[in-house]
Amino acid sequence: MKKVVLFWSAGKDSAMALHKIQNDENFELLALVTTLNEEYKRVSMHGIPEVILDRQCEALGIPLIKMWVPNQAANDSYEHAFLELCGDLKKKGVEVLAFGDIHLEDLRKYREELVNRGGLKASFPLWEIPTVELMNNFIANGFKAITCCINTGVLSEDWIGRQLDRKFLEDLPEGVDPCGENGEYHTFCFAGPVFKDSIPYQTGELVFKPLKIETAKGESESGFLFLDII
């Protein structure tokens, strides 16, 4: 059995990847790793507070390693933290780092190169599984999650805080990946077969982070809308 550590985002893709790893006799899962913003003490991209992340991992019953990066970190800062992490994991006998990516080739290539530089191997348990199939399995297996971040360039405000269920999939606008694999949305997973108990939570304020984009018609201001989980 290969000793593996999974990068955990607190969302649905990580939860599905974890489920597959736990049911794969070739792997021995040692821990989860989450990238957190040093300034805001939140999960990068998903915006989940550290205290909620801790509650998640208590419910999972799996040790958590926190990889801290500066706010708006330059790529070299991220890579330095990542390679330092790899060195620490190697000393503990870890051989493989796993990720929940599904079909973004450029991202996979980047991760593989970085992991190889760190002396480990990369694994992608969900790779090239059709996203409709993944979401159908997610719902059928009893996982539960809500959207905690949406890209307002593709989804309207009423999509924030929605639970991922059959109606969610049916209502998704044309062109939006069912798993949000192109960054259309991010999620907070609070229940499912990988958890010993569901995680109690409440939702708080909305925070909008604008992103100015040049279009054929001029400058368009879309961005990311975050829902605080408390």
How far apart, in Å, are the Cα atoms of 224 and each of 45, 80, 217? Answer: 9, 27, 21
Give the closest residue to 161 by CA, choosing from 186, 136, 193: 186
The answer to the question of residue 129 being in a domain is no
Same domain, 46 and 85: yes
Q: Would you say 208 and 31 are in contact if contact means Cβ atoms under 8 Å apart?
A: no
pLDDT digits (tens, 9 = 90+) for 37-59: 999 999 988 999 999 999 999 99
The strand pairing partners of 89, in sequence order, are none
**CATH number of the structural domain spanning residue 196:** 3.90.1490
Q: What is the pLDDT of residue 72?
A: 76
CATH of the domain at 20: 3.40.50.620
In a domain, 139, yes or no: no
Task: Say whether both 119 and 178 belong to one domain.
Answer: no
39 & 96 share domain:
yes
Contact 189, 168 (CB under 8 A): no
**Cα–Cα distance between 201 and 52 in angstroms, integer?**
8
How distant, in Å, are the alpha carbons of 10, 41, 108, 222 from that of 57? 9, 16, 25, 33
pLDDT tens across 110-157, in order? 999 999 999 999 999 999 999 999 999 999 999 999 999 999 999 999
Residue keyed to tokens 């021995």: 28
Distance CA 229, CA 52 (A): 7
Q: Do 154 and 177 form a contact (C-beta atoms < 8 A)?
A: no
Considering 66, 90, 123, which residue would you say is the last residue of a domain? 123
Q: Of 90, 123, 156, which residue sits at a domain end?
A: 123
| pLDDT more than 90, % of the chain | 91
Flag whether 157 is in a domain.
yes
Confidence class for position 211, pLDDT limits 50, 70, 90? confident
**pLDDT confidence bin for 222, thresholds 50/70/90:** confident
CA angle 108, 113, 120 (to 5 degrees): 100
Q: Choose the final residue of a domain: 93, 123, 153.
A: 123
The closest of 14, 4, 32, 62 to 190, measured between CA atoms, is 14
Q: Can you tell me the mean pLDDT for 225-230? A: 97
Same domain, 113 and 33: yes
Phi, then psi, of 37 in degrees rounded to 5? -80, 125
Domain count, the chain: 2
Q: Which of 69-73, 175-179, 210-214 has the lowest mean pLDDT?
A: 210-214
> Same structural domain for residues 111 and 217?
no
What is the residue range of 69's domain?
A: 2-123
Do 216 and 182 belong together in one domain?
yes
User: 119 and 7 share a domain?
Assistant: yes
Residue 130: inside a domain: no
Residues 14 and 69 in one domain: yes
Residue length of the chain = 230
> Which pLDDT value is given to residue 219?
58
Residue 138, domain member (yes or no):
no
Report the C-alpha gap between 212 and 224 in whole angstroms: 11
- Do 103 and 216 belong to one domain? no
Q: 150 and 102 in one domain? A: no
Q: CA-based angle 54:56:60, to the nearest 5?
A: 115
The answer to whether residue 133 is domain-embedded is: no
Are 113 and 63 members of one domain?
Answer: yes
Helix and strand counts by DSSP (H, E) for the chain: 6, 10
Q: Is residue 70 in some structural domain?
A: yes
- Kindly state the average pLDDT of the residues 62-78: 90
Which pLDDT does position 218 carry in this prediction? 57
Quote the tokens at residue 35.
């990238």
Q: Are 93 and 3 in contact (CB under 8 A)?
A: yes
114 belongs to a structural domain: yes
- Asked if 56 and 107 sit in the same domain, the reply is yes
